[in-house]
């Protein structure tokens, strides 16, 4: 299988784009048909301390597949982007960008973000690790953690604004992410300097 915890984080778009030339024109079907990435802000001092223990920036600019126990989701997950297959775009562009705003009702401490996916295999058959549409018995995937370098205080009634990009260049794919509200944080993993996936 090609799906990662965030849907596209194990190069499923690039792999399926490369394989679609073997589909029968006009009638060939891809499985999966599509998958959507979602993300939610979380508070977890435990996860933050585990990343901080490495004592470098690189580990704060790396994503992690994590079975999250001691954490709190601060606002419901929102959709980032969707990939559909076969991809008939010319040229094919698998870069993505989104800016998301999350309403927070209670004062909290932001430590990062949890990534999920919801996948349409075919017809009405879905698999999902998104909490609100979670597929019973899904033990193969855990959420993808996007950490931030420093805990950020979030007042009650405020918004968390996240800028997230899926970037491609120089034979690799990587994510960049930054919090711009309630405080402005650094852009993480610029040009894939700490973590990328080779094409």
Model confidence pLDDT, tens digit, residues 130-187 = 999 999 988 889 999 999 999 999 999 999 999 999 999 999 999 999 999 999 999 9
Where residue 1 falls among pLDDT bands split at 50, 70, 90?
Answer: low
* Rounded distance between C-alpha atoms, residue 35 and residue 86, angstroms: 12
Active site residue 61: no
How far apart are the two ends of the chain, measured CA to CA in Å? 17
Is 84 a residue of the active site?
no
Query: Residue 149, CB half-sphere, CA atoms under 13 Å: how many?
Result: 15
Catalytic residue among 10, 50, 84, 161: 10
Residue with tokens 């490369």: 18
Instruction: Using a pLDDT cut of 90, give the percent of the chain over it.
Output: 92
How, if at all, do strands 78-84 and 159-169 pair?
A: unpaired
- Token look-up 């979030």 returns 154
Tell me if 148 sits within 8 A of 161, measured CB to CB: no
Strands 172-181 and 197-198: antiparallel
Which CA distances in Å does 164 have to 37, 71, 105, 157? 11, 21, 23, 23
């Amino acid at each position: 299988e090609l799906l990662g915890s965030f849907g596209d984080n194990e190069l499923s778009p690039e792999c399926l784009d490369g394989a679609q030339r073997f589909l029968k024109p006009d009638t060939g079907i891809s499985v999966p048909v599509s998958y959507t990435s979602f993300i939610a802000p979380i508070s977890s001092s435990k996860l933050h301390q585990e990343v901080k223990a490495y004592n470098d920036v690189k580990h704060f600019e790396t994503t992690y597949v994590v079975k999250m126990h001691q954490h709190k989701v601060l606002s419901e997950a929102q959709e980032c982007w969707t990939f559909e297959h076969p991809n008939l775009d010319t040229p094919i562009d698998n870069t993505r960008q989104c800016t998301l705003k999350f309403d927070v009702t209670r004062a909290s401490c932001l430590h990062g973000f949890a990534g999920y996916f919801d996948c349409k295999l075919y017809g009405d058959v879905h698999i999902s690790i998104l909490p609100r549409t979670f597929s019973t018995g899904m033990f193969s995937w855990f959420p993808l953690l996007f950490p931030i370098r420093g805990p950020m205080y979030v007042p009650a009634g405020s918004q968390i604004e996240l800028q997230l990009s899926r970037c491609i260049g120089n034979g690799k794919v990587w994510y960049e992410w930054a919090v711009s509200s309630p405080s402005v944080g650094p852009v993480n993993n610029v040009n894939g300097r700490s973590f990328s996936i080779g094409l």
